[in-house]
Amino acid sequence: MRIGHINLENPVVLAPMAGVTDLPFRLIIKEQGCGLVCGEMVSAQALVYGNRNTFSMLTIDPRERPVSIQLFGSDPETMARAAAILATYPVDLIDLNLGCPVPKVVKNGEGAALLTDPARVVRIVRAVTAEVDCPVTVKMRRGFTEGEEVAPEIAVLCAEAKAAAIAVHGRYREQYYSGKADWTVIKKVKDAVAIPVIGNGDIFTADDAVRMRAETGCDGVMIGRGVQGNPWLVRETVAALSGAPVPSPPTVEERFVLIRRHLTDQIEFIGEEQGIKEMRKHLTWYLKGFPGAARARQRINEITSQKALYDLLDEYETELKQIETPWLSIK
């Protein structure tokens, strides 16, 4: 798949997820073969104002490229200025957020709220594409109010304003992540524009991705919640979409090797105390469905040292290996 002048090795894209897609996680996903990884959304206003915490989110490793960073905001001039700042970093694509459903974002007229103001969307896309040379993409939801589908018409406006690709999530803002993503809107957007369209929503298995492409004709698939605790879904999806044999699920040992690697990288990235706090949610996702996971999660939430957490993982891995075969057979 090609977005602007950027060639992707495959059509699998990691969705930008706040509090999730930081550098350590992106590197893990990239190593699973992901064609394009996307960082956490960053505030355009915070970039322009020089917020230190926001700039810390722009750490990029050459190994993860091509990489996209997502901007959110509502003022065209501020978005353009923020994009110019991003362009000074090794960022390959800039994505514009028209999909975040979180109230604190929406109340400021940002994220999914922009779906109610197509004219402002056009001004933002024009301002950003005029400011930077890298491809500018737009990620949006089906619409804001349930039953009022606007994604196809806004996608056309974005394409006319020089957006290089469109990502579409098949839910309305009011749904948040409830119910089921409706992929028919992805097909409508694909039929409406000539630029690449990336489908998003409810891809939890490689078969889901294959079915989405078959049903919608989308150029790429974007995986979000499906890789939380299951980064191996990326390699399975890459294989399935290419027609290659799908790799076997990871063994218990393979899972824990990656879990420890993630923990180590997270601590190196932001320090022991904060790294352990950040890893708690990831460990909850990694261990979901494991026998005895609830007990392990409770202990994880009480641990404050790296050594104690490694010891717990060693202990828990040993327990799981004793029941590996029957456990994996029901996964």
Q: Are 40 and 57 in contact (CB under 8 A)?
A: yes
State the number of CA atoms in the 13 A half-sphere of 254 facing the CB. Answer: 11
- Following DSSP, what letter does each residue of 298-321 receive, concatenated? HHHTT--SHHHHHHHHHHHHHHHH
Which listed residue (38, 100, 134, 158) is catalytic? 100
Contact 74, 49 (CB under 8 A): no
Specify which residues 38 forms β-bridges with.
68
Residue 249, Cα to own-chain centre: how many angstroms?
22
Q: Is 134 a catalytic residue?
A: no
Quote the DSSP letter at residue 322.
T
Helices of type H across 217-287: 232-242, 252-270, 272-287
Provide the token pair at 68. 């996209």
Q: How far is CA 253 from CA 238, 245, 250, 294, in A?
A: 23, 22, 8, 20
Q: Can you tell me which residue has the tokens 């790294």?
A: 275
Q: What is the identity of the amino acid at 180?
A: K
Q: Which residues pair with 166 in a beta bridge?
A: 138, 197
Enzyme catalytic residues = 100
